[in-house]
Chains A and B, each alone.
Chain A
Amino acid sequence: MACGVAAAMVAAAFLTMAVVLVAKAWSAADLGFLFDPSSRVADRAGIGPALAGTLWLAALTVAFAFPVGVGTAVYLEEYLPPGGVAVVVSGAVANLAGVPSVVYGVAGLALFVRGMGMGPTLLAGGCTLAALALPTVIVTSRAAIRAVPRGLREAAYSLGATRWQVVRGQVLPAAAPGIVTGSCAAFIRTVGEAAPLLVLGAVSVMTFAPRSPADPLTSLPTQVFAWSTRSQQDFAAVAAGAGVALLLVLLVMNLVARVVRRRLQGVSA
């Protein structure tokens, strides 16, 4: 009963948010909105560069954080002997998962933008967001790997498989649905972040869609923020429109993860 009420409240909250956003965004909706750059006139403002920036950031974040995160999880679970080092690393990862995203922005500014001389580019943004997603990817991947039955590994070892063969042939396929689910949740949260990108130096106006990771940093969340600080009322609708677009991007990411998971479950079953 209580669970039913809780579920109904969550559903109601999501629907309310979607309805409010769509209702506000309605006046801004047309095809040009998806491709045009921002403008000083709300009617002409579009999310072209911001949308492209967010797609770049999503691709970069997944490309950096997924292999590194899953690799780290495999190493921690399957290779590193329990005790000393493992405890320290696990503690560090767990603590990193709790660090606020703005702090990652400050660290990214010092490390990627200034230290490595990337400047306020999409590449620096992708690296920072990847660092932000990494602890969650590691923690959820470790949980998924740990849930693989011991017997599966031992059966493979008894047939003479090497450790890598066990990991690759048995553990990873069995853990993959869990890894994908957990990682995807981390990526979706991360790609919706504005705070770290604002610290890195996201641009206010960009007249073109970014074509490479070396282009200036822009994204849907920072564009929503920029528009919502403007005084003209019309920009509230434009900001809501960008919010809807952001929701759609995240929804698509979720669907992709779902399809991948289905496939993987089919394989491992």
Chain B
Amino acid sequence: MIAIGPRSGSREGPARQTPGGGLLLRTARAVTLLSALLTGCSTDGGDGGSILIVGGSSSLYPLSEAVAEDFAREHPGSRVVVRVSGTSGGLRRLCEGEIHIAGASRPMTSAEAARCRSNGIGYLALPVARDGVAVVVNADNVAVDCLTLAELRRLWEPGSAVSTWRDLRPVLAAERIRLFGPGTVSGTYHFFTAVVMGRAGASRSDHYQTENDHLIARGVAGNRWSLGYLGSASYAANEDRVRALEVDTGFGCVPPTPATIADGSYGSLARDLYIYVSDVYNKMYNSLYNFAIHYVSVTQALAGEMGYAPLPAGEYERSLARLATASEGPS
């Protein structure tokens, strides 16, 4: 009775349905089993699996990378990730709660602060080092040693008429200048355009743009007639392949070295670099402030070695005091 009735028709009828369902079911079961196995491994994590995410400016990336590495060595079991998203991208993500520390090569704008406020995210802004914007040329290009701010402006302004070195200065070669620079989400871009053109974001756009400073240095190293600008720490890492020009910002021709950046003689092209520490209160609260304290305290020692200029010692002490107050608990 069970068998005979339906059986004759089953080849084309119900059998068509159930096998498909069976296969799907098996597939689904296999997938859920596998994902259960895979995720099962995660539950044995000792510290609850919280991950500290550092992002933001590529000018601070060498420093963030070094600090993260040292911190991980001193705190086995800590979990730190460093991304690069440019200053604007980093600050936006900080205010969305997606990252916990953002490196910035300029102070936060009021629009960015408003976004943080509307998302209920507080933050500490801590200056960590100074650097300068280095203007670099190919190592074989020895005809020029120094540019004035006015010349940089003629070269980089929107709709610039300068296309060859001769356009810039009549004594130079009639070779086309190939330009390399940071992309528009970069704090270096905003800073450089604000200082040189007088308005943040005002720049010619017919140049190669990248958030990766190493690629700027590579591009300039690969073409004899090229010119680019990048953070001085990134320049320090690429000293063997590109040459930094001296810049006359009103104090005569000055090269971008940690010393000239620290004493102010590199003028308006030197700037403070900040980290913004978010106050998102969650289970990783302690490691966040530990990391920030570590960041501030080792920066003083690491900064010079990496081509930044350290801040006066008092600045670091003030930052550490602010972090100590903040880490006592959410206010």
Contact = CB atoms under 8 A, between A and B. Distances in A.
A231 interface: yes
B11 A163 contact: yes
Contacts of B71: 207
Contact of A163 (B15, B26, B38): B15
A40 B65 contact: yes
B38 A211 contact: no
A64 B32 CA distance: 10
B39 interface: yes
Contacts of A59: 34, 38
Given A63-B35, A212-B41, A231-B217, A206 B30 contact: no
B282 interface: no
Contact of B49 (A67, A206, A212): A212
Given A162-B11, A231-B237, A205 B65 contact: yes
Interface in A199-252: 201, 203-208, 211-216, 229-232
Contacts of A167: 19, 23
A211 B22 contact: no
Interface in A26-82: 37-40, 56, 59-60, 63-64, 67-68, 71, 74-75, 79
A40 B19 contact: no
A39 B69 contact: yes
B107 to A, nearest CB: 24
A201 B82 CA distance: 11
A40 B35 contact: no
Contact of A229 (B10, B22, B31, B212): B212
Contacts of B72: 37, 207-208
Interface residues of A, number: 39
B241 A204 contact: no
B62 interface: yes
Interface string B15-26: 110111011101
Interface stretch (B73-81, B148-156, B201-209): B73-81
Given A60-B38, A230-B214, A204 B61 contact: yes
Contacts of B260: none
Contacts of B214: 229-231
Q: Provide the main secondary structure of the chain B interface.
A: helix
Contacts of A67: 26-27, 30-31
A70 B69 CA distance: 44
B81 A216 contact: yes
Contacts of A14: none
Contacts of B35: 63, 213
Nearest to A201: B83
Nearest to B71: A207
B74 to A, nearest CB: 11
B171 to A, nearest CB: 31
Nearest to B306: A40
Given A68-B27, A213-B38, A40 B84 contact: no
Contact of A204 (B44, B82, B215): B82
**Interface range on chain B: under 10, 10 to 19, 20 to 34, or 35 or more?**
35 or more
Interface string A136-178: 0000000000000000000001000011100110000000000
B11 A214 contact: no
Contacts of B53: 216
A214 B42 contact: yes
Nearest to B234: A231
A232 B237 contact: yes
B314 interface: no
Given A40-B65, A63-B35, A208 B18 contact: no
A183 to B, nearest CB: 14
Interface string B207-251: 000001011011000000000000000000110010000000000
Given A164-B19, A207-B80, A229-B214, A216 B27 contact: no
B254 interface: no
Given A207-B80, A232-B237, A64 B19 contact: no
B69 A40 contact: yes
B68 interface: yes
B146 interface: no
A235 to B, nearest CB: 10
Interface string B41-75: 11011000101010000000110111011011000
A75 B20 contact: yes
Interface in A65-104: 67-68, 71, 74-75, 79
A236 to B, nearest CB: 13
A64 B79 contact: no
Contacts of B84: 204
A182 B235 CA distance: 48
Nearest to A64: B31
Contact of B15 (A74, A75, A162): A162
Nearest to A203: B81
Given A63-B38, A164-B19, A231-B214, 19 more contacts: A63-B31, A67-B31, A68-B27, A162-B19, A163-B15, A164-B15, A164-B18, A164-B22, A168-B19, A205-B69, A205-B82, A206-B80, A207-B71, A208-B80, A211-B44, A213-B42, A216-B51, A216-B53, A231-B238
25 contacts: A37-B69, A40-B62, A40-B66, A56-B38, A64-B31, A79-B20, A164-B19, A164-B22, A168-B19, A203-B82, A204-B83, A205-B68, A205-B69, A206-B80, A206-B81, A207-B68, A207-B71, A207-B78, A208-B72, A211-B42, A212-B39, A212-B49, A213-B35, A214-B49, A232-B237
Q: Which 4 residue pairs are nearest across A and B when measured between Cβ atoms?
A: A164-B19, A212-B42, A207-B72, A205-B82
